[in-house]
Structure 1
Amino acid sequence: MESSRIEILVEKYFQGESSIAEEKELKSYFSSADVAQHLLEYQPLFAYFSQAKEQKFAAEFPSQSRKKYWGWLSIAASAVVLLGIGTYVYHDVTAAKQELGTYDDPQVAFRQTQKALALLSNHVNTGIESVQYVQEYQNSKELVFKQ
């Protein structure tokens, strides 16, 4: 009689329809020594639940090591920032010391200036040609849509 009731309770348990009282009854049944032979396969499952309930977590974490870690991390970050600023300033100063574009002979300076202005004029003319294409597109669009 009792094993048929336990079978029904086990079935309800695995279906997720058992109540807390029925689960306690199953745990007490499977923790006893007189478990039916055909229900022995469920005994480790319910024994585990009762053992897991008694376990306590007792590990402690050291809190002071984290403070030391953050301290060293902030020192390292400060060193990296200072190193980056120093490198930037060094390269900026050395670049400023180089005097590019200074000539002693006025004729050489005049020729170099003419070359630079010719290059600039060439690029400006290329830009103006592109603008003319845009203007042609604008005129065509106005003809089509007649705004």
Structure 2
Amino acid sequence: MVLNNIEKLIEKYNNAETTLQEEAQLKAYFLSDEVAPHLEHYKPMFQYFSQSKKEQYTKDVPLKTKNTKLYQWISVAAVAVLMLGLIVPTFIGPTEEEKQEALLAYNQTIDAFNLISIGMNEGKQQLNSLILVSDNLNEGIEEAGRLSEFTETTNKIFKNK
């Protein structure tokens, strides 16, 4: 009966369904000398698990301390640069005359873009007119094709040719 129970526990163990108590039973069974011959191949695995629990790392781990003074000075320099970046533009910023010149240049640029836009809109209207002419020409060619069919049919009826 014990062997049958161990086989069921091994099956549960392989399916990852065992509890800690059941795993302890399996460990105790495989560490004993009374292991069934057909289950001998599980014995090294459980022996490895019991030995690996006893292992400890005994070497010293050296911890290097970092030089924090350099990082402190870098942070101070970064704050100084940010402060200068925020304060200096307010004192050295553009004068009223420069602002007026920039606004005048902006307005002239907008006027130039408006003129270009007007010219492009006129060109678009001319292209629309060309498209309309092209469509009418294509319709005329189709009508001419129908006229030649009509002429051929008329000639057949009157047997002119």
Q: In which range does the TM-score fall when normalised by the shorter chain?
A: 0.3 to 0.5
Greater gyration radius: 2
The structure with higher relative contact order (CA 8 Å, sep 6+) is: 1
With the length of structure 1 as denominator, give the TM-score of the two structures.
0.47
With the length of structure 2 as denominator, give the TM-score of the two structures.
0.43
